[in-house]
Amino acid sequence: MGNVFSELISATCRAIFPPCLDCISKKVAYIRELEDNVNSLQTELQKLVEAKADVKRRVDIAEQRPQMKRLSQVQGWLSRVEAEETEVGELLRDSSQEIEKLCLGGYCSKNFKSSYEFGKKVANKLQDVVKLKDEGRDFEVVAGKVPEPPTDLIPMQQTIVGLQSIFDKVWKCLVEEEVGIIGIYGTGGVGKTTLLKQINNKFCNELQGFDVVIWVVVSTVPNFEKIQEDIGKKIGLNDESWKKRSLQEKAGDIFKILSSKKFVLLLDDIWKWIDLTEVGVPIPNSKPVSKVVFTTRFFEVCGSMNTNKDFKMEYLTDEEAWKLFEKNLKSEVLEHPDIPQLAKVVAKECGGLPLALVTVSRAMSCKKIPQEWRYAANLLRNSASEFAGMGTEVYPVLKFSYDSLPSDKIRSCLVYCSLYPEDFLINEQQLIECWIGEGFLDDSSRGDVYDQGYYIIGILVDACLLEEEKDIEDPRGDYVVKLHYVIRDMVLWIVNDIEKEKGNYLVEASTGLTEAPEIGKWVGVRKISLMGNKIKIMSQTPTCPDLQTLFLDQNELSIVCDDFFNFMPSLKVLNLSHNRLCKLPVGVSKLVSLQYLDLSYNLTIQELSVELKALTNLKCLSLEYMIRLKTIPCQLMSNLQRLHTLRMYGCGTSVEDGTEDSDLFDGEILVEECDCLEYLNVLSLTLGSYNALQRLLSSVKLQSCTQSLFLKGFHEPMSFNISALATLKHLCVLEIHEWKGSTIVNVGDVQKIREPSSFYSLHDIKISNCNSFRDLTWIVFIPNLKFLFIVRCAVMEEIINVEKLGEVSEMMLDLFPFQKLRFLTLWNLDNLKSIFGKALPFPNLREISVLLCPKLKKLPLDSNSAKEHKIVIEGQEEWWKELQWEDEATLNAFLPCFRSHR
């Protein structure tokens, strides 16, 4: 009936209003079909939601695969579906209210306009939903591979302690300087990887114009295939077919792509040289646009990788170490008034090594009572390997460097350094001589055994296992190294806990001992170090058939019982220096295997015992600064035919002239005996007569091996030419003491003295108690002079006389002496008026010390003399106040440099 009625109305309308028929019909249709369209919309929406769920599930599955990401059209469709859901939901919520407005069986409305507009919205929305649903069916592929981002963020701690300074330097090289390859080196656990991660993550926020930043972990044994895959993944070469290509083919592909990009390659943990071209990486040229940065434990790797810039990762300072340590402690732990100070002691025991600091601080993070902290400090100081984490997390990391050393011989040389106290400055020559005594070095070739020793030191320094103290030299002027105490603890952990034969080393160096450990502890031990203690007497007789090394130096020993050495048949190295011995025990003759003996700085020994003749295997003998030694058994030195090194510098210098046996120390007989030593390679001597010096200078062999000369008390009238010493090519230290006024000193043969090799090694000159020198003008011929010590020379008026320089040669007038000088000491020089006639640059000078030089009113300084670094000027207050200066600027430059003489 309704349909008939509807058709009747429609027909009537068509008859009456034919032009508006279509318009009215559509509007009526929106109202008439409203209820059906609402139901259809609800149904189609449900189907759309189901289609969305299916597509979303496919997307999730696809995106679980590496480098897969939903397609943009899929993501757009999902977003439009979500928007439609919201809009359709609102329409459906309002639909019941609009349906209630319908009348005449749904063909008319109480509010025609409202129903028409709503019906139109529903009809249009129904079309949109159906269309969206159909679009979802067309997605055969929902995700695809996407290119790698330019760099990947690497998770790490947000706060980095102690790295900012070196980070800034490396970053500057990356973004500003024309530096292509950068090496970052340092010991294990010092923070190299952390620094490299920090650099990588900085690029995530600031690409600085680079196209791609590539991170690759190389590790101990480089896997070229993995390196290529890590690089390839970052530059879009990651499909399975590419992975199956040969290394050479992959290298070509990588090279082709990287050559067209501005890249940064970060290589972490390189252990040996890597041929970057073999991997496919273009080498950054002299004006690089790309950069390669790598970390390594070995400075040698930096050389082999041909770096343009190297940065060494140093241990943290005490302040930096505490900041890092404190980070891991709970705040309530530090609330106890006694713990902060104890915690700083514990932190200091970690030696500034970040890995140790983090490990120890985590272990102590919840310790709330002082007793726990005191125990921790003692444990770290005396048995660090027993502390939680040190033997399982810290030392194994450091041991990788130890294990990677080229040979067992070099590892033995490193282990030997652990006999010295923590952070002890070890004289390099003395260390090499101990290695010679131990048999670590091949001494079959007389000339190169020391070179071999220095080469090994270089390997250990490059591996960051030994530290070279470049700005520190011992009193002899020799270079020194030290073993960082965390490395030292690791080495002792290896030899006493890890290696098969435990307990090989008994090391109680600088631990405050007043008595030697009970002799029961000596049994079976191969190396013993008790140096740096306060032991006064060795009264027992230990039985040590395996003992090879015994360090008893720097104690207060005055007595060693005669049979102390009776049962040490294997002893090779014995150090008794810096003690108070009056004589050697008779039993020293039993040490038939001994190869190294150091008796230096025993200031009260007056004679050497004849028993020393039994030590026929001795290779190194040091008697330096045995100042009261006046008697040496006849033919003792010539009997020690295997001697490589004989050190007698400063011997007998306190023996008074004219006393019984003092003539034995004029040195002439000693020189003759030394000339008979076939293997002698290093010689330092004290000579008491001009004849002895002439005998030395007449021997080609002794000329080639003399390193230090102490010339004492030349009383006979003579004229001495300094050029005569130019034949001593390896002379390092020269001391002239108590030359009387009857000696005339001249330069001599200028041509000879100016040869490039003349005095090249000489770096230390001491002149004391001499009335033979009015000046030392000849020192201008010493190009590498570092230490100049002049004391109690009453007639000396000038150090360098400019007029004499002109007499020698006009070329000398423009000379700038003291270019290498580091320390200048002038004491008790009553008549000294001048050091040099004009201001000098002094590029390496560290200190000038002046005492009781009343006529010295001016120093050779101007405002440019201290541009490189600060020069300390030590003197008396009165002298300082009366000094005359070049100008006001010079005075202002050096005013902060003064230090009152102690």
Helix axes 339-348, 318-327, angle to 10 degrees: 120
Q: Are strands 787-791 and 823-827 parallel, antiparallel or unpaired?
A: parallel
Query: Hey, what are 174's tokens?
Result: 């990356």
**Closest alpha carbon to 769 in 657, 615, 899, 881:** 657
pTM over cut 0.85:
no
User: Which H or E run includes 875?
Assistant: strand 872-875
User: Which H or E run includes 573?
Assistant: strand 573-575
Calculate the CA dihedral of residues 844, 850, 853, 857 and round it to 10 degrees.
Answer: 60
Residue 70 sits at φ, ψ, to 5 deg, of -55, 145
Question: How many helices, marked H, and strands, marked E, lie in the chain?
Answer: 29, 32
**HEC-encoded secondary structure of 172-212:** HHHHCCCCCEEEEECCCCCCHHHHHHHHHHHHHHCCCCCCE
Query: Hey, what are 16's tokens?
Result: 């009456």
The domain segmentation of the chain, as residue ranges, is 21-145, 164-312, 318-393, 409-498, 713-902
**Are 17 and 101 spatial neighbours (Cβ–Cβ below 8 Å)?**
no
Residue 268 identity (one-letter amino acid): D
Q: Which residues partner with 706 through β-bridges?
A: 683
Residue 336 identity (one-letter amino acid): H
Q: What pLDDT score was predicted for residue 69?
A: 79
Distance CA 642, CA 205 (A): 67
Distance CA 351, CA 371 (A): 22
Residues 145-158: tens digit of each pLDDT: 776 788 888 888 75
Alpha helices in 628-737 (DSSP H): 636-639, 668-674, 690-697, 700-705
DSSP 283: P
Residues 324-383: tens digit of each pLDDT: 999 889 888 888 999 999 999 999 999 999 999 999 999 999 899 999 999 999 999 888
Distance CA 267, CA 388 (A): 32
Alpha helices in 328-442 (DSSP H): 339-348, 354-363, 370-382, 395-403, 408-416, 428-438
**Are 469 and 605 spatial neighbours (Cβ–Cβ below 8 Å)?**
no
DSSP 99: H
Residue 250 sits at φ, ψ, to 5 deg, of -60, -40
Residues of the chain below pLDDT 50:
1-6, 8-9, 12-13, 16-17, 21, 660-663, 811, 813
Distance CA 833, CA 817 (A): 18
- CA dihedral over 600, 604, 606, 608, signed as positive or negative: negative
Q: Which residues partner with 473 through β-bridges?
A: 479
DSSP 858: B
List, as one string, the DSSP characters of 316-351: PPHHHHHHHHHHTS-TTGGGSTTHHHHHHHHHHTTT
Q: What pLDDT score was predicted for residue 374?
A: 94
Superfamily of domain 164-312 in CATH is: P-loop containing nucleotide triphosphate hydrolases (3.40.50.300)
On whether the 713-902 domain is CATH 3.80.10, my answer is yes
Q: What pLDDT score was predicted for residue 806?
A: 59
Distance CA 386, CA 363 (A): 13
User: Which H or E run includes 721?
Assistant: strand 718-721
What is the rounded end-to-end Cα distance, in angstroms, of the chain? 128
**Are 145 and 176 spatial neighbours (Cβ–Cβ below 8 Å)?**
no
Q: Which residues partner with 70 through β-bridges?
A: 143
Q: Are strands 291-296 and 263-270 parallel, antiparallel or unpaired?
A: parallel
Calculate the CA dihedral of residues 588, 590, 594, 596 and round it to 10 degrees.
Answer: 0
CA distances from 258 to 287, 294, 514, 796 (A): 16, 18, 67, 70
On whether the 409-498 domain is CATH 1.10.10.10, my answer is yes
Alpha helices in 766-825 (DSSP H): 802-808
User: Which H or E run includes 215?
Assistant: strand 212-219
Residue 881 sits at φ, ψ, to 5 deg, of -65, -25
Residues 847-862: tens digit of each pLDDT: 999 999 999 999 999 8
Largest CA distance in the chain: 158
Distance CA 717, CA 735 (A): 19
Burial of 700 per CB tally in 10 Å (0-12, 13-18, 19+): exposed
Distance CA 588, CA 618 (A): 12
Distance CA 725, CA 548 (A): 40
**Chain position carrying tokens 């600064």:** 625
